[in-house]
Structure formats: C-alpha cells, structure tokens
Amino acid sequence: MGVPEEIRKVERPCNSVVVDSGSTGIYRYAVISRIGCKVVNGMNQPVSGGTIGHIIDDKFVELDKLRVQERRIEYKDFADVSLIHSLSSSLLDEALEIYEARDAITIYTIAILKVIYPIIPFDRIDSKYQLN
C-alpha cells in the first residue's frame, strides 16, 4: 500500500520523497532526499540519497532532531493511553517545536504516565514504562 495523500502533502524540503518504512511506530514515514538521476535502458531513473527526516504527527521532523533510542513500545493499558493521547496530542506538537524529538517524547511520556499513575514516584517511572 502506498503512502497516504495527507502524509505526502506535509511540507518538507524540496527534492525529497516520503516512503513507508514498514514499521508501525512514529518513524513509519521516512523522508528521503533525491540526489540526481541515472540513465537505465534509455530511461531516467531517480537516485535516492539518505533519510533526511520523518513525518511525525503530520509534521516533518529533521533527522538530526531524532536522536531517539530504538525501543519497541507495547501498551497494556492501551485504553488509558489512547484517551489521554487523543486529548493531549497537541502538547507533543508544541514540545516538538521547542525540544529535540527525544526530549519531547520523553517529557510527553512521563506526563502521560503521571496522569495514569498519579501516585507513582519519579524514580519508579522507568519500571512502570517498561511494564506498559
């Protein structure tokens, strides 16, 4: 299946293309630069460069701002997290404008965990995150 039209229309650098990486996380849609063309069998074929960023929450985020550790997230309390995310996803958008992606996502995740588990001490947040 191709990349949805609303994802392709997100403002990004010129000479770039959005591809579906096949993952299911926030890095699903990668933005790849086009660095030129080569002739194959008399036809011009585009030459792709490296990944320059990703489309996260309908916004282009540069790769240098994505210094995030690779970690698979599994939600056991999915309903709670889904409800909170649907009501507060604009906070993540605002945080991504100010902080690097790693810091913004960390702050957002801690905030969600503190809403779900308000009495959890800060030194136990990582263990609760690993359980969820």
- From first to last of its 132 residues, the chain has per-residue pLDDT tens of 588 889 889 999 888 989 988 887 788 898 998 888 888 898 888 888 888 888 988 889 887 655 544 545 555 666 777 788 888 888 888 888 899 888 888 888 888 888 887 887 877 777 766 665
Domain closes at, from 43, 65, 87: 65
Contact status, residue 104 vs residue 73, Cβ threshold 8 Å: no
pLDDT digits (tens, 9 = 90+) for 42-77: 888 888 888 888 898 888 988 765 554 454 555 566
Please indicate, yes or no, if residue 15 is contained in any of the structural domains: yes
60 and 101 in a single domain? The answer is no
Q: What is the value of pTM for the model shown?
A: 0.49
Same-domain pairing of 55 and 99: no
Asked, for residue 70, whether it belongs to a domain, the answer is no
Longest dimension (CA), the chain: 67
Tell me, yes or no, whether 16 and 37 share the same domain: yes
Same domain, 21 and 57: yes
Phi, psi of 71 (to 5 degrees): -150, 135
Measure the CA–CA gap between 102 and 65, rounded to whole angstroms: 8
The parent domain of residue 91 ranges over 78-131
The count of structural domains within the chain is: 2
Question: Quick check: is 71 in a domain?
Answer: no
The string of DSSP codes covering 24-64 is SSTTSEEEEEEEEEEEETTEEEEEEEEEEEEEETTEEEEGG
Whether 59 and 92 map to the same domain: the answer is: no
One domain, residues 92 and 114: yes
Q: Is 112 a member of any domain?
A: yes
Q: Would you state the pLDDT for residue 74? A: 54
